[in-house]
Amino acid sequence: MESLVKKLKISTGGKFDLKDHPTDYTGDYKKEDADVLLNELKTKIEVLQNELYAENKHSLLIIFQAMDAAGKDSAIDHTMSGLNPQGCQVYSFKQPSTEELDHDFLWRHYLALPERGRIGIHNRSHYENVLVCKVHPEIVLQQRIPGIDHIKQLDDAFWEQRYESIRNFEKHLAYNGTIIIKFFLHVSKEEQKKRFLKRIDDPEKNWKFSAADIAERRYWDEYMDAYKKAINATADDKAPWYIIPADKKWFTRIAISTIMLKTLEDLKLNYPVLSKDEKAKLLDAAEKLKGEK
């Protein structure tokens, strides 16, 4: 488990390149063993989730970023299905509303953070502001930032300022007990094509496909460059990125669950221990209940 986590983890920026991370990697894992292994991982995660909830000191923020058809929705569905819904919340971020555009770009994401003891899952995240906004800089103009009136003003210094805001945001969360996991589901352009065609051919999956998906596919290289720069600028030991091979969905799910389990295990979680006075009160309550007629 530890070797897989180490292989996929990016905790320092500067040298990261997507070309060094195959999208079809599966290591020594086998598809025929995947279902059993995934169930074992989910069972262990469920136990630790209960301890996380009871201890009420940390929260876990899991961020999913990916190109279209990389499998974010199915990965969330298959890896989080064993979690207790009372201790888990999922947010899927779409285009910002008028109210959200009246605030800074991190505001709506701060509002969606998990409370202590809970697991928060963000399907897309604040990183869209240095990904889709970088590929389509005209979107930034909608945010009405003082001094930014034309896309020509969105220079390297502007994007570095955004990276710095994200780093500071995540550092603040980490200092205050939020454990951050950032997943980039790394799918190949060829595999995306196959999945798009499946969506078109299958009537039950037609709703998943949009003509806009093809339009965005034309910007593949620009997106890969934006991801490379964002990951290099924001990878940190307190908020690491994990590059998840996404061509084989069965392996994607195992990798995500393995990283979640290792992250929770590293917290050394424990159920709260009652003081002597609290234990005495419990014993007294038990005696009173036993004495009821």
Tell which residue, 14, 109, 76, 108, has the closest CA to residue 260: 76
Burial 227-243 (b: 16+ CB within 10 A, else e): bebbbbbbbbeebbbbb
Q: How many residues does the chain have?
A: 293
Residue 208's alpha-carbon distances to 23, 95, 97, 205, 215, in angstroms, are: 22, 17, 22, 5, 15
CB atoms within 10 A of CB 23: 21
pLDDT tens for 185-221 read: 999 999 999 999 999 988 888 887 788 888 999 999 9
The pLDDT score that the predictor gives to residue 208 is 76
> Tell me, what's the pLDDT at 276?
86
Task: Go through the domains of the chain in sequence order and give each one's CATH number.
Answer: 2-291 (3.40.50.300)
Q: Dmax over Cα atoms in the chain, in whole Å?
A: 80
pLDDT confidence of residue 288: 86
pLDDT of residue 37: 97
pLDDT band (50, 70, 90) for residue 146: very high
Q: Mind spelling out the 3-state secondary structure of the chain?
A: CHHHHHHHEECCCCCCCHHHCCCCCCCCCCHHHHHHHHHHHHHHHHHHHHHHHHHCCCEEEEEEEECCCCCHHHHHHHHHCCCCHHHEEEEECCCCCHHHHCCCCCHHHHHCCCCCCCEEEEECCHHHHHCHHHHCHHHHHHHCCCCCCCHHHCCHHHHHHHHHHHHHHHHHHHHCCEEEEEEEEECCHHHHHHHHHHHHHCHHHHHHCCHHHHHHHCCHHHHHHHHHHHHHHHCECCECEEEEECCCHHHHHHHHHHHHHHHHHHCCCCCCCCCHHHHHHHHHHHHHHHHCC
> How many C-beta neighbours within 10 Å does residue 9 have?
17
Q: How many CA atoms lie within 13 A of 66 on its CB side?
A: 30
Higher pLDDT, 150 or 2: 150
How far is 258 from 279, CA to CA, in rounded Å?
Answer: 37
How would residue 10 be classed by pLDDT, with cut points 50, 70 and 90?
very high
